[in-house]
Amino acid sequence: MNTEALIAELSTRLRPIPRGTPRTLLRNGLIAGAVAAGIAVLFWPSLGPRPDMASAVTTAAFWIKMLYTASIAALGFVALDRLSKPDAAALHWSRLLWPPVAALAAIAAMRWAVAPASESEAFWMGSSWWQCPTYVAALALPVFVGLMGAMTRLAPTRLRAAGAAAGLVSGGTGATAYALHCTESSPGFVLLWYSLGLAAATVLGAVAGPRLLRW
State pLDDT tens for residues 35-79: 999 999 999 888 999 999 999 999 999 999 999 999 999 999 999
pTM: 0.87
pLDDT score at 81: 92
Helix (H) or strand (E) holding 17: none
Sign of CA dihedral 19, 20, 24, 25: positive
pLDDT digits (tens, 9 = 90+) for 100-146: 999 999 999 999 998 888 888 888 998 888 899 999 999 999 999 99
**Is 206 within the bounds of a domain?**
yes
Q: Are 153 and 26 in contact (CB under 8 A)?
A: no
Phi, then psi, of 159 in degrees rounded to 5:
-70, -40
Most confident of the ranges 11-15, 116-120, 210-214 = 210-214
Question: How many CA within 13 A on the CB side of residue 176?
Answer: 23
CA distances from 134 to 178, 200, 213 (A): 10, 9, 25
**3 inside domain:** no
Residue 145: CB atoms within 10 A of its CB come to 16
Neighbours of 183 (CB within 10 A): 14
- For residue 69, what pLDDT is reported? 97
Residue 125: C-alpha distances to residues 34, 103, 119 (Å) = 27, 20, 10
Q: Is 191 helix (H, G, I), strand (E, B) or coil?
A: helix
Is there a domain that residue 192 lies in?
A: yes
pLDDT band at 90 (very low <50, low <70, confident <90, very high): confident
- Does the pLDDT at position 14 exceed 60? no
Q: How confident is the model at residue 161 (pLDDT cuts 50, 70, 90)?
A: very high
Please, are residues 138 and 170 in contact by the beta-carbon 8 Å criterion?
A: no
Residue 87 has pLDDT above 80, yes or no: no
Query: How many structural domains does the chain have?
Result: 1
Residue 14 included in any domain:
no
Q: Is residue 15 part of a domain?
A: no
Q: How many other C-beta atoms are found inside a 10 Å radius of the C-beta of residue 38?
A: 16
175-188 average pLDDT score? 94
If you average pLDDT over residues 179-184, what whole number do you get?
94
How many C-beta atoms lie closer than 10 Å to residue 39's C-beta?
12
* H/E segment holding residue 12: none
Alpha helices in the chain (DSSP H): 3-10, 21-43, 53-56, 60-83, 93-114, 120-125, 132-151, 159-179, 187-189, 195-212
Q: Does residue 70 belong to any structural domain of this protein?
A: yes
Residue 1 maps to a domain: no
In a domain, 10, yes or no: no
Q: What is the pLDDT of residue 136?
A: 96
Domain that holds residue 157: 20-212
Which amino acid makes up residue 130? W
**Distance from the Cα of residue 77 to its chain's centroid:** 8
